[in-house]
Structure 1
Amino acid sequence: MTSALNIVVGVTGGIAAYKAVGVVRLLVRAGHRVQVIATEHALNFVGAPTWEAISRQPLATDLYTDVSEVRHVALGQRADLVIIAPATANTLAKLAAGIADDLLGNTVLATRAPVLVAPAMHTEMWQNPATVANVATLRERGIHIVGPESGQLTGTDSGPGRMSEPEDIVDAGLGLVPDAAGDLRGRRILITAGGTREPLDPVRYLGNRSSGKQGIALATAAHLRGADVELITASIDETLPNHVPSHGVQTAAELQRAVHTSLPAADIVIMAAAVADYRPVQVSETKIKKEERGDTLTLELEKNPDILAGLVPLARPEQIIVGFAAETSRDREHLLELGRAKLARKGCDFLCLNAVGWNDGFGADRNTVIILDATGTIVGEASGSKREVADAILTAITAG
């Protein structure tokens, strides 16, 4: 069961408040109890019904509500973590000065929990000497800062001041709390990511467009939910998480050997890597010269081993084997038909099915998946950032 934290998310009056919805959603999906405190100005950007629907809790705004319960102190006392996103320049100044003229300010003063602040403002405001001094003061007092990033701001402005992405804020926040997430505590999860490459010669290879983003998102999400994660990467375009042990491979055969070596210790295996179906029969020891081969080049290919199907008979009954199926399809029903046929061939416990195309799936920051169990029944669906999809997949495959 989830070891839920009491988390306060403070939202202040900036346009980036819309991104804080994603922060709350990720925390709730991870099984935590989230109390949103919105300032008066924050509600000009995102209304109370949204916060209550996403957090599944009544919104806290007023300093003088539930005075008999000393709520202005109790929220901070009960909190295991406080996240403020976005934190405007005004908010940073008030925090640095210890001003508590609203419920959020009182909560921060009353808490002994870690406090994480995600600034968001125009570049000029972020670089103003007053803001620089306030941030330095907060850091000296043990307040943690995430971001801001450099990017598109309100209007046509661009530069430092963009609030960090929800996934990064959540990762930074939960990283401040020992044993923050517990629903996967004690589980050992092996995850593969990226695309395999089959060499043609010392220069060229057969590959695919997988970036590894979804597999890396799965590894990060599982780690933050308490799992002991091992990540095996083929070719990837993403930075590896420094908190997850990982090692790299190139070819399908190398990936197969690595997975078989790590299989006995795993409780769950998630095969998110895109594995080449074929490899060249012969690999040239020297660079293939077009001057020597002429206007056409014929390659003879042979099948690679089916790593996912080969794992199933090796797995213990209690192990969970999860496959991925990236398919081009006409529509949803056709996609499900392809997924169920693949599930029958592979024999795995779950299959994460998604449609891909020239501009969808591989390399994108967002994903849409349908999760099938061993019978072909839909047990979960998710659409959003790859981190949001990762959490939904982990929840679906461990629900039983």
Structure 2
Amino acid sequence: MSTTTKAAPIVHTPDFMNGDEFRIPVFKLLKQDGSPYKNAKLPDLDKDKALRIYRAMLFTRVLDERMLAAQRQGRLSFYMQCIGEEASVIGSTAALDDEDMIMAQYREQGALAYRGFDVDEFMNQLFGNEHDYGKGRQMPVHYGSSKLHYMTISSPLATQIPQATGYAYGQKMAGQGHCTITIFGEGAASEGDFHAALNMASVHRVPVIFLCRNNGYAISTPAHEQFSADGIAPRAFGYRMKVIRVDGNDILAVYQATVEARKLAVEHNQPVLIEAMTYRLAAHSSSDDPSGYRSKKEEEAWRDKDPVLRMKLWLQEKGWWSDDDEKREQESLRRDVLEAMKRAEKREPPELDTLVSDVFDEVTPILAGQLDDLKAHIRKYPEAYPKGAKSLNGKDAGGAKHA
């Protein structure tokens, strides 16, 4: 028997349990009108930080609206929105130290916005131009920033979850008081990586926070078709891990839950699972049509729980924000996003050689040969690559200067 497991009571009848004996509550602080619940103790959030959070929420929403429109206009190949989930993402990020590592999925642009990723950095990645940190190799919305401690996003679900456990193990060894948060949807929690990560984190007691955005759907698959248990939170019990379920549209509740989770992680090396109950108001991506699997009535019910509006009303109740402030901020953000998009569209693509230049310490013969084949192809069919302006090996490609 494990030395960490208490002796189990002995019974003499074959009574089976399925977990229904335990119901995990939902932590809430704010009502939808922005007022606190009776007896709710709000976090100590000063005006500057509260406005930093809210501006990140507004920026994320404006960015999402404008860039989906750009995709529909054919100016962008693909996009994924965060609409409806801003509180879960930004509220948790705001509760961290800015040097804590974030390993996100692909709906966490608000985390970067809060940490200071500027509008040009967003646009450079979305358009894959020469200033894109990923050198045009990734799909749009697959951001990354080493200076902001935000791991580059990977498309396959759940890969970042065990990586977060491993990174947090390194943070524990370093002993500098930092932790890792990994953010993912409830669909990703169905992957084996989720279970391997939680088990390893619990056994080795590493400072990691697992934040599950339970937004109701794994693309088109509703939660009730993904699992029959009471959501994701009860899974923590199987790993003897601390867990909390929070209203993911309540920015103050998410913030406070993450503050406490970080204390457990950093001060006691206890991993924590947070299940944020929220809703994806947008389509899964610009390639998805949610009308095929959910009703407008359902969507409207969740629009009435808008996390951005809830925080706005709380700020107004505090006297920290006004309708005039809102109008000025919205106008400024829309202008900034549109101007940055125009700048990003005009920038050159990355140099062709960057396709292989830092995949390995030295370019391998196979990669070098593939690059030569690509250049030969471009020279043979220059009319198929009309947007280039840089040279292939310093020479024009017969009318097309680069790919």
Q: Which is richer in helix?
A: 2
- Tell me: higher relative CO, structure 1 or 2? Use CA pairs within 8 A at least 6 residues apart: 2
Q: Give the TM-score normalised by the residue count of structure 2.
A: 0.30
More strand by share: 1
